[in-house]
Structure 1
């Protein structure tokens, strides 16, 4: 039955059906054929319960705030700020791109929004400077994935809902790993620029830097308000999402006047479409998880492996990283988080692992999967935005994927990279 289910899901994906269809068809097959049950209301109940968590209300709010800022001046002001300080370094332009993606990730929480907002202005500059298109595209889509680690992160919200881990602590725990990956990307950009023989940009004077800092103060206030409020215990992550929307509207409509009130309807419509996709995947993923768990499929596959590794924290974390990495290469990361997180919970508890630390590793695998062939969502976003063929987009990704896998190993062996900041807030 497992083989037939996998074949049906793969065939449906190859035929071009959205991920929702294979998940629901597989759930119905297992319900009728394996479990010998014809009560479809069971699946409907699971789908409804999957989207009932109050914490999920933060998802559309953060998406809406990101859409408002993407249409406004926030992205360009962040770019100007970073370039004024690091543009003169060897590899300054790609480092500016990586750092700006990180900063905008702290504003948007969305990898795809970051690809659009940062890739649009930076790709022409990088190409004009002499960087290859394969390097440029790979840099943009992989640096944008840092947005999944830097709060606010939609992936962390989904993981927190499924695992029961504190979303506030997850947000805070992602900050240092995100900065670490930015530094690793920057070193690679520096080395690549030397190898390509590309000279640095002229140094910006302090007058330009001060002007860029003044313009970026208000956009930088967004992550400070969100993270600072959660870190200080002033409001919950869901409340922070509502405050983020208010901040974005006041900043872009009232202060910067970059977005007109008449455009809010289009922004809300875009947010509604994206939110619908996310919530439908969450609902279908919950139903699929229920049916495969009830049928005992995950226990049959992962049970012997988990039993063999016992309560070794390193082996459990290694198995989690490998499983999520492979899963996210083929399936939407949200679905993988929904399906695999409950399956590994017994092993995580038996090994005495901190669920926040596990959440950072899981989210990092989701970030890697977003830019990894064959089905990384950011790959297809870049294809649509930059009008480049599939193989041109993925050609330069291997070095960045290697860096992200190295970052995963560092987090496994040195958990304090992710746990240090949450420990300060708990003390």
Structure 2
């Protein structure tokens, strides 16, 4: 009875559009009240879920990304991307994807990528003669590359839940992230050829070199983060602090786009964003504790393994579950609730934990571009001033492309494990 109330309340909250954090909290409270468990359990379990040193790096990386963005980083990255690929047919579409790949190493979140790159690229593409639906769709799709390329907030959450090194998780996502970007650029090029989209003239090697120098300090932050963690010189949390200091120095003294008077607003915005994420983590931990106490993870694992122990079929089932969940639930909440039981299932059939974690995150990234709860869809549709129906129709080629990459990553562990194994030995 209590479990039924929990699930009904949770699903109802999602259907009527309540924020995921509120839905998790309300449904957990309803369960505890009916079960006669003291409500003091909620803050206790929230604190237990947040009592992790690794989670402290989330505010640090968010602050670093916001400082760099406030310092004018988006324009420099777009300029570099345009100099590299803007001369091809549909060049601004390819520039959009390339900019997201470069920006992903700065922000670590898909929503920040969609808002920052989209705010510049979507109006520019429309002005250059690209359809509004295509401009918004390719921006939304390419923004999902960001959380795969380090630093990545979902990868930090996965590392916390599984005990896997966050540094290894960052490395594991790099190759699939690049694969997604290249695949979407190829898709955009084919669409551009078929629909005869405009192309920009080649700007020359001098412009490419100048654009590279202009974006060098921004792109170098990704290298700083990876080297810091792999060398063992700093923990992920310490690396996030160093990245924030680096972003401040570059924004104020190198690019000079960040003014000291702007810093308080950046700090406040970063604190609000980090607080929202950590509140979600805490409440999702309460919900997850209830599921564990009801033995839901064991039931899921036992049910699937009773049907099949074939690794390839289990991977397919996990992908289908996560793709479906990603359509309705926010990424971090889905990870906290489902990652541990699905990890146990994956390990039960011999799937490497890093490999599983990688394609699990990739599944949920695709969910950010699928209705009805695709956050990036809403952001880009709003910027492009088009309806959700229009952007949904236009984004399907890119979703299918990303699913093809997902299948490759799911069934070929090499793409996930090669880089962590290479650089950690």
TM-score, normalisation: structure 2: 0.95
Matches within 5 A, 1:348-359: 348-359=346-357
Matches within 5 A, 1:109-148: 109-148=108-147
Per the TM alignment, residue 16 of structure 1 is displaced from its structure 2 partner at its CA by: 3.6
CA contact (8 A) 2:184 2:402 kept: no
Q: Matched residue of 2:225: which SS?
A: helix
Matches within 5 A, 1:229-308: 229-308=228-307
CA contact (8 A) 2:301 2:345 kept: no
Aligned twin of 2:191: 192
Aligned twin of 2:14: 13
Q: Matched residue of 1:324: which SS?
A: helix
Segments of structure 1 that go 5 or more residues without pairing to the other structure are none
CA contact (8 A) 1:232 1:425 kept: no
Relative to structure 1, is the Cα distance of residues 381 and 294 closer, same or farther in structure 2, using a 3 angstrom cutoff? same
Q: Matched residue of 1:215: which SS?
A: helix
Query: Residues 258-291 of structure 1, C-alpha deviation per residue, up to 9 Å, x if partnerless?
Result: 0111111111111111111111110110000111
Determine which of 329, 332, 345 is the counterpart of 1:331: 329
Q: Establish whether residue 225 from structure 1 lines up as the match of residue 233 from structure 2.
A: no
Structure 2 CA distance for aligned equivalents of residues 18 and 285 of structure 1: 12
Structure 2 CA distance for aligned equivalents of residues 32 and 218 of structure 1: 53
Tell me which moved more, 196-205 or 48-57.
196-205
CA contact (8 A) 1:66 1:110 kept: no
Segments of structure 2 that go 5 or more residues without pairing to the other structure are none
Tell me which moved more, 228-237 or 65-74.
228-237
Aligned twin of 1:388: 386
Equivalent pairs counted in the alignment come to: 424
RMSD in angstroms over aligned alpha carbons?
A: 1.7
Aligned twin of 1:158: 157
CA contact (8 A) 2:46 2:283 kept: yes
Aligned twin of 1:76: 75
Q: Matched residue of 1:330: which SS?
A: coil
Structure 1 CA distance for aligned equivalents of residues 300 and 215 of structure 2: 51
Which structure 1 residue ranges, 4+ long, deviate > 4 Å from structure 2? none
CA contact (8 A) 1:314 1:412 kept: no
CA contact (8 A) 2:301 2:344 kept: no
Query: Residues 59-112 of structure 1, C-alpha deviation per residue, up to 9 Å, x if partnerless?
Result: 011111111122222111111112112111122211111011010011111111
CA contact (8 A) 2:122 2:383 kept: no
Structure 2 CA distance for aligned equivalents of residues 224 and 85 of structure 1: 20
Tell me which moved more, 140-149 or 223-232.
223-232
Relative to structure 1, is the Cα distance of residues 88 and 156 closer, same or farther in structure 2, using a 3 angstrom cutoff? same
CA contact (8 A) 1:357 1:415 kept: yes
Tell me which moved more, 138-147 or 337-346.
337-346
CA contact (8 A) 1:88 1:200 kept: yes
Structure 2 CA distance for aligned equivalents of residues 268 and 393 of structure 1: 33
Aligned twin of 1:377: 375
Relative to structure 1, is the Cα distance of residues 216 and 426 closer, same or farther in structure 2, using a 3 angstrom cutoff? same
Q: Matched residue of 1:40: which SS?
A: coil
Query: Residues 112-141 of structure 1, C-alpha deviation per residue, up to 9 Å, x if partnerless?
Result: 111122112211232233322111111001
CA contact (8 A) 1:43 1:287 kept: yes
Tell me which moved more, 158-167 or 349-358.
349-358
Q: Establish whether residue 314 from structure 1 lines up as the match of residue 312 from structure 2.
A: yes
Aligned twin of 2:410: 412
CA contact (8 A) 2:123 2:384 kept: no
Per the TM alignment, residue 28 of structure 1 is displaced from its structure 2 partner at its CA by: 2.4
